[in-house]
Amino acid sequence: MVSNGSMDKAAAIESCRVEGGYLAVVTSAAERDSIRSVLLSVDDFYVYVDGSDAELEGTWKTQTGETIQNVPFQVPSGAMWSEPDGGSSENCIKMDTNQFADIGCGFITSGALCELKLD
Ligand SMILES: [Ca+2]
Ligand SMILES: [Ca+2]
């Protein structure tokens, strides 16, 4: 589900917790694309997902400290740049309608992509 509202990474984590879940981890291009196809109808779809490489640049980890082997970074077709491109200044991950990219953790997005606990 998407928790809507202007939020930085810390607020995104908190909003998922309040909803009874946690920031979603996306681990393949197929998962990314299927989530996106469902969420294209959400206004201003531009959300944080889980992942941080603050500890070791280029190694992405979840909130719980597990390494994400395959972060499905993506740029718009025809783009003149690649992602991730932010080095140590961009240690969080956002997903929007045509990108999956590293961004600064203080960047204000329109929401958070949450996974709800099924218990
Ligand atoms: Ca980084
Ligand atoms: Ca970037």
Q: Per DSSP, what are the bridge partners of residue 21?
A: 116
Q: Per DSSP, what are the bridge partners of residue 2?
A: 113
Give 3 Cα–ligand 2 centroid separation in angstroms: 22
Give φ, ψ of 59 to 5 degrees.
-105, 115
pLDDT given for residue 30 in this prediction: 97
Share of the chain above pLDDT 70, in %: 99
Give 90 Cα–ligand 2 centroid separation in angstroms: 6
Instruction: Report whether pLDDT(17) > 70.
Output: yes
- The domain 2-116 having CATH identifier 3.10.100.10: the answer here is yes
pLDDT tens for each residue of 56-109: 999 999 999 999 999 999 999 999 999 999 999 999 999 999 999 999 999 999
Ligand number, closest to the Cα atom of 56: 1
CA distance 79 to 24: 26
> pLDDT band at 41, cuts 50/70/90?
confident
How is 41-72 classified by DSSP, letter by letter? TSTT-EEEEEEEEEEETTEEE-TTS-B-S---
Q: Where are the domains of the chain?
A: 2-116
Give 25 Cα–ligand 2 centroid separation in angstroms: 18
Give 15 Cα–ligand 2 centroid separation in angstroms: 23
- For ligand 2, a single-atom ion, the residues with CB < 5 A are 85-86, 90, 101-102
